[in-house]
Amino acid sequence: MTSPAHTQDMITMARQARTVLAGGRTALLTLPCEQARGWVGVIDDGGEPVLMASAVGRLASAARNGRRSWVEVPGHSGERLILTGPLRVVPGTTEQILSRLDDLGRMVSTEDGVTDGLSVLALSVEDVVLCLPTVARDGRPRRWPSATVGRRIDLASYAFAEPDLISAYAAELIEHLNVGHADQMRQLARHALPATIEGDIAGVQVSGLDRYGMDLWRVDGAGAEQVRVAFRQPLVEPRSLGRELRRLLDQSANASE
């Protein structure tokens, strides 16, 4: 009989595995029968990795024959997710499939927007292994941990798990805030905790993002200080970040008056 602690641990690991796939943009695809291996673009479709490939290439041929393959997805924190199963061709035209994924909020970009000659492939997941990074002597996580230290995830737990999309997209969201919204981040940093400041801010850099707030480095005349901007409501999905930032900016503007 499975203990409650083991069940909860499996649920947590399954959610982490789904989060790694949701945040993945590239994956290492291996075709053992063809002795082929290479990096491909990947997108999460309900826990299944979806790949784009040439309609006449080796990948498409392997998919039409249902060849067993595995996909390895690197996580933002050094995780390694290994999904194994038969490769298949997704039915429908490439335009129809990309439109469906786009409607689900999973945008796929192709070179110059051209989809001619491309096929969409998917892996029917039969086995899930999540490898967590070990810690190096200098305290930093090692990248791409060995598959021999991975944890096998129960398929039912994996199928029912929901990814943490804020964690999955955090790196892209942080880059977007730093590049496209520097002035707004400067305004928010002025009133961030632990203490607001009245003087000029020389620079601001968003360094962390989770459901409950943002971590920023604020640079002023006294030096650099890490501060926290708490959200009024926890983020449910990446698109809710914009609404929360507008609330905070309005609040910050009122506080400055």
Distance CA 121, CA 67 (A): 12
Q: Identify the band that residue 114 occupies on the pLDDT scale cut at 50, 70 and 90.
A: very low
Q: What angle do CA 80, 85, 90 make, to 5 degrees?
A: 105
188 and 155: one domain? no
Q: Indicate the range of 8-12, 40-44, 103-107, 131-135 predicted with least confidence.
A: 103-107
Which of residues 101 and 87 earns the better pLDDT score? 87
Per-residue pLDDT at 45: 87
Among residues 10, 95, 83, the alpha carbon closest in space to that of 49 is found at 83
Could you give the number of structural domains in the chain? 2
163: which 2 tokens?
Answer: 């990814």
140 and 249: one domain? no
Distance CA 27, CA 122 (A): 13
Among residues 243, 63, 223, 250, the alpha carbon closest in space to that of 71 is found at 63
Average pLDDT of span 24-51: 87
Q: Indicate the range of 149-153, 199-203, 213-217, 253-257 predicted with least confidence.
A: 253-257
64 and 17: one domain? yes
42 and 129: one domain? yes
Domain finish residue from 162, 194, 209:
162
Domain finish residue from 129, 162, 195:
162
Distance CA 230, CA 16 (A): 24
CATH code at position 206 = 3.20.180.10
Average pLDDT of span 125-133: 93
- Res. 138: pLDDT tops 80: no
Per-residue pLDDT at 170: 92
* Helix/strand/coil for 184: helix
Per-residue pLDDT at 89: 84
30 and 108: one domain? yes
67 and 129: one domain? yes
123 and 30: one domain? yes
Among residues 69, 75, 111, 61, the alpha carbon closest in space to that of 87 is found at 69
Which of residues 256 and 221 earns the better pLDDT score? 221
In one letter, which amino acid is 127? Answer: D
What letter does residue 133 receive in the DSSP assignment?
A: P
Answer for the pair 82, 71: CB distance below 8 angstroms, yes or no: yes
Domain finish residue from 118, 144, 162:
162
Q: Indicate the range of 42-46, 57-61, 245-249 predicted with least confidence.
A: 57-61
Domain residues for the domain of 110 are 4-162
Task: Please report, for residues 101, 156, 191, 255, 257, the alpha-carbon distance to residue 96 in angstroms, rounded to integers and kept in the order given.
Answer: 9, 29, 47, 49, 51
